[in-house]
Structure formats: C-alpha cells, structure tokens
Amino acid sequence: MHPNLLDQLTVFETIADTGTFSAAAKKLNRTVSAVGYTIGQLEDHLGLTLFDRSGYRPKLTDEGKAILRDANMIGRRIERLSARAGALQQMAAVNATILIDSLFPRAPLALALADFARQHPEVQLTIQEIQVDKIAERLEMGEAHIGLLALNDMLPMQHFDGRQIALRGAFPVAAPDHPLAQIKAPFPLSEFDNYRQIILSSEAVDEGRYNYHVHITDLWAVNTATLALDLVRQGVGWAFMTRDSVAEDLEAGRLVTLDCADIHDWAALRFTAFWQTNNPPDARLSYLIDMIEKACEESSGATRLVVG
C-alpha cells in the first residue's frame, strides 16, 4: 500500500464532494497544485483515470465512481477507528445534546428519559426540537451528539451512522366536520385531490418534489407537528398522522380517521438514532438509545411489519 494512500483518498473524496479542485483545496487548506499532484499520485498508483478534466469542472469517470464507493467505505472505517481510540483515551461525556424532529414519538421518549435520569443522575442532557434538515448540519458542526428523527431521502450517509429505533404507521385523519369525514366511506383515492392537505416540511411548497404521501394541488406546508395537528383540528385540511400524535384526539372525537378504499396499509415511518461516524454515542448514550427503542416498541402507537 502506498504510504500516503489514506491522504490521497481523503483528497479524492473531497474533490468529489465539493465538485472542483479549487474548492477541495480551500476546504483542505492546501494549494490547488498540491491537490492536483496528490490526485495524480493516486491515479498513478491505481493505474486508473479518476477524473475527466476536459470540461470546466472535473467529472468522475466510471472508474472514479467505482473507487469513490470504496474510498467512502474506507473513510467511514477510519473515522470509527479514530472515534474508538478517542473514547478509550477519555472518560465518557457527562453533558450531551440530543436533537429531535417534531415527528418523533414524545410519550415513549419521555418515559425512557425519565428512567435514564433515575439511573444516571450524573449525566446532563440538552434536548432540542429543530427542523429535520438542520439535524445533520448541527451534528456535523459538533453541536450535538445524536439526532432522533424520521428517516428521509435528504439525510446524508457519508460520515454518518445510525440505527432504526422505532416504526410508526401514518394514516389520514381530519376533523369530524371536514367534508372528507362526511363522505360515505370508503371513498376513492381521488377524493383526496379535492381538499387541502397539511404536510410537514421545513421548505416552501414545491409540489414537483413530493412523493406519494402528497395527493393534492392545494397544499399547506408547516414545519412542526404541533401546528399541523392544530390546523387539522380546526378543519383547515386533512393530514397523515401517527397513532402517537392523534390517539387522544381520536378518543375524544376531535379527529376521525379517513376510510379510503385505495389505501390498504398505513405508510410506515422509520425513526432512527443518527450520529457522526467519528463521534458515536458512548456507553451511556448507547444505553439511552436502547431504552428509547424499547419504550417505542412497547408503546401503544407501535407498528409492526408482518412479513410473509
């Protein structure tokens, strides 16, 4: 193995991430010529051309794309090795920050935190609800230890690890006086198109990028589950909600489930504990994650997939 191979792979990954040699040089605090020389060495060592340099920006060749996958995997393993060595050198932290999105089941989370507080009174926790698209950013900046959030396509995979800790079904609900609740059930899927849907999103409405959970052209996007629920209660629109978030409203008659003939199964929301690969949870935070997972599995809102 070339003695500078790990450094060369780091430079290679950075160029692929940033898009240009100059941007990679700035991020790595090196000169552009030094970055170019390092990649040249890597290409000579591998006997491959990793970038097509004929255009305005370097483009990964097919060989480059294949090597990038291996480079990413090696990088993650090195980050884990460094993190483990660091954990062995120092005592576990006694002050940790946990970030949660507005969808994460609150009741089992509070139950697990209460049990953890009794068992580990020496640990101080800062728990913050923030927009889901900001969680990875805050973790990457070292401002938090773990995130608890619903899996989504926007989550970065490089430099992050995690594990599923809860599964929740989401089903359509509305206020009892909403027109959809008055239609003779079960109604066809097309009926959803006639009424406003409330969705959780931290960005402005862009109908072109939403998935099968979005059914209509009249769309309101809000960034907190609490406000979304309040709007549904007021009859502003209908929404997909989890059992945890609407159980009391359904029991009290403030909300009703909508019976659609074309929806045979609930949409599954997978919740994860999420952290930077080079800053994994220590033994006590790992134990807390186990407790949260157990509380979520045992709560009344839990959903279990049936296989076979």
Domains of the chain in start order, with CATH, are 5-88 (1.10.10.10), 94-159+273-298 (3.40.190.10), 169-268 (3.40.190.290)
What does the block give as tokens for 87? 């954990």
pLDDT digits (tens, 9 = 90+) for 45-54: 889 999 998 8
- Angstrom distance (rounded) from CA 187 to CA 209: 26
- Angstrom distance (rounded) from CA 301 to CA 308: 22
Mean pLDDT confidence for 260-282: 83
Mean pLDDT confidence for 224-231: 90
Say if residue 306's pLDDT is above 50: no
pLDDT digits (tens, 9 = 90+) for 144-187: 999 998 887 566 667 788 899 988 888 899 999 999 999 887 88
- Angstrom distance (rounded) from CA 52 to CA 269: 40
For residue 94, the model assigns a pLDDT of 64
Q: State the chain's mean pLDDT as an integer.
A: 84
For residue 202, the model assigns a pLDDT of 65
Q: How many CB atoms lie within 10 A of CB 223?
A: 16
pLDDT digits (tens, 9 = 90+) for 97-155: 999 988 898 889 999 999 999 988 878 899 999 887 788 889 988 899 999 988 875 66
